[in-house]
Structures are given as C-alpha cells and as structure tokens.
Structure 1
C-alpha cells in the first residue's frame, strides 16, 4: 500500500502530530516530561535512575546559545548524562555546531523512516519450528532481557520494558520470535502507540547473530504492523540503523530525514 502523501507531507504530519504534539511516546514510570522555554525535556524524577533526553521541535528562538546553556546547567546540577536528539531539519541551522561548542558529542546518525502501516505486512517464511507471537507474561519479558544482555552487554535488559508494560499496557505491544516458550528468544521488537495520532512506532529489533538473515526481523515487522493496523493506526515511524534500513525501504517506507543524538555526560561534574 502506497501513501498518497509525498515525503515532505509525511514529514510534516510526523512533525505536527508527534514532535509539536509532544507525542513521541508515553513517558515511562518515574519520568518527568516538561518544557524549558522552547526545549522539550525528559528526565527521571530521581536523578541517575534513567535516561535524559531533550529536543527543540520549535527551534531555539533568538538566543539559541542561552537555551543550550540552560540545559547544560540543569543536567550538570543533576549530574546526569543527557541526549539532545536533533533532526536534520531542526532550527537553527547551526544547531549541531552550537551543541558541540557547549560540550555535546555527536553519536551515530540514524535515518527517520515513515510510511503506511499496510505496506509492512508481508508473507514471511520462517525456519521450521520457529514462530512469532506477542508476549503474554513477565516470563517472556525476562527472556527478552536475557536476549538484550547477550547481544548488547550487561547494561541492557534492565527490566525497563516490563515496568513500562505494567504501567501502561495499552501503550505498547512486544513481539518475540522463538522455537519454544521455554527456550531463548531468537529475536524481539516492540511497538509503541502514540494515542490520538495516526502514528505507531517500532523499536528494538534485536536478533541473535546465528539467527540473522533468516527472516526473523521481517517477521517481527509484519507482526507489529498487523497489530498497529488492528488498533487503527495509519502510519509507522522508525529510527533506523544501516542494518535494518534496507529491509524497511524495500517494504515501502521512505527516508525523510536523519536524526543524530548529541550527548553530554555530566555525571562526573561538580554540582
């Protein structure tokens, strides 16, 4: 299924509904979402217990340096690591240079893909004995934590997905690929719903190395797209790495912008 909207129109809808509407996703338990003048912020109620993120969907006004300095001061006082999420069309045009001058460090860019949910629903042939399904228990989520630790290291798989589901089970669905409910999770991904908008978004998508290139990731994409369509969502959003992007572009999603995180680690700074 192909959207009647062009790339720029899709991006404008995403910007209006998600970024200007403050609907990236529902804040997890213990996370504050507020604004400081034109800057949108997320940070934990208790410093140091979760991620911090800021962005500026409306630009930074007449004094962008002052706006950035206010965030540096705020998160340095809390001794936290903060990510400033930038999009390639953000204002001011020299935002990234201003961030680097303030001590932020660029990380790897990702591509923002947008498109119709229906185009992601494809027939996928999985290896014999392998199935895809939505999770139904805390035990499933614990198995996903083990997958994340195996692939990404001990700092991942911290139980945050389970806490998010318990706090607002209607805000997301989680999908696994497995051979059995007693064995390891082979691949996993989740789907967040931005209520009151036309957009759902896909996150995760981790697969054990020995099970890659066997259709498992595509199976999670199709399953999540079906769930989103059942919930009445029209568009899908993903921030993609070079590994997953080709698969999703072949399914009809379109690259409309890039997004690059700029991080400032103030955990060791004096208050």
Structure 2
C-alpha cells in the first residue's frame, strides 16, 4: 500500500488522532495478520466486536488502532464514527492516488473465474492486483484496493453482494474504468427477493464507473432492458452466445485480451 501518516489517515476518515503521528505501511483487520508497525482497524460485525481483541493486537506489535469506542490505549489510536466506513474511505483515497486502471467484475456466477483469467492476461502487460479469493464484499473490496501502489498498472476487482446497496458502495470506492456484468441468474434470492432484484443489484456497478468508462455486458442477461436507460450515454460492448446475430461475439480469450486494449486506450480518451 501507499505509506500514510496517522494524521493523514485521521483526515481521510474524519477521525480524531490520539498519540504520535506515525507512518503506516500496512493495514489489517484481523489480529492473526498483525505484524509490528501495522495499523489495526477494529471492525464490528453482527456476531463479533473486534474491540475485544485490541489488547491482543497491541501485544503482537501493532503500532496504531482505528476504533469506534473511546478505549484509551498505550499506543496511537484514531476514533471514528464507523470503522467499516473508515476502511472504505482509506481504500478510496489510495485508489484515487494511483494511476492504476481498474476493471470491476460482477455477475451471478463465474465472476471469480473471469477475474482470474482477466488478471492473468493483464499481468502480462504490467503490475496487476486482483481480488484475493472471494473477498468481494464491502470489506473485501477495500482490503484489495489497499494493496495498490504507484507501481501498479491494473486492478481487477470482483464485486459481490448479498443485499442491495453493497455493489453501489464497492463500485464508488473502486472507481473503475471498465465494468463487466458477466451474467444474471437466480442467486442470493433471500437478499434480493427476485431475479429482478438481482438484476438491479448487479447494475449498481455502474455507479462508480468513470465518465469516460466502458461497459461490457452479457446480452443474454435477464432484465437487460432495466439497465439501458441508465447507461444509454456510455460506451457499451455486448457479448453473447445465444444472440450472435445481435451482439459482438467474443471467444473467451479474445474477449479478455480486448479488455487489455480498452484499458490502454482509456488514457488517450480522457478529457
């Protein structure tokens, strides 16, 4: 990640710093990943509260902590309103501080395979980061973006969700130059209620797309008409298996090789 001072981090997160203004080179959210000198962000979930593990993080050598509760520590710490949002704010700042071109991928199925294939191809052209495993939610996406440095040329970010609003948030943080909706099928219906709900959730990926960005859509997707009114002014590339006569048809390798050229082309089109 890009080195940041605690004073800068406090400003990014609208937090209040207590203690020394240290320089941070690593951020973690799990005490198992704590190393000497890192910043530990204390998250709160439905079934856990990492404030209970602050002492353990300090014993392991973390240099500073971001937390919601005003717990006095023997090391530097920052108090924020919401640690999860603070994580996203830091990731967003780092993403905007690099020149890496981001390709965001979502879909009901196959997105991890698409992510791996795309990342493998882009790595042939320059330093590339990609989502680790299935870290594709509102916590995993920021964790991936924190890896970015000035040396990275590309980032392949998988955006997943179990409920409405998650992809909207992740896309806003990622600010992609290219977005791909791989497909829309019946998945996570408990969170989205219907296939139309799934379709609307996946379309949230458009929210963070840069003004001169490119959209790649599977023309075979359900409820495609729901998206068209919101993306009519964007550059769109369609691919299809069932509707070859109505779409640009890519073989798998050709499709993702073409993405490389799209990403290289974008800088020359910026206003």
If the length of structure 2 is used for normalisation, what is the TM-score? 0.26
Give the number of the structure whose residues are more often strand, by fraction.
1
Q: Which has the higher contact order (CA 8 A, sep 6+)?
A: 1
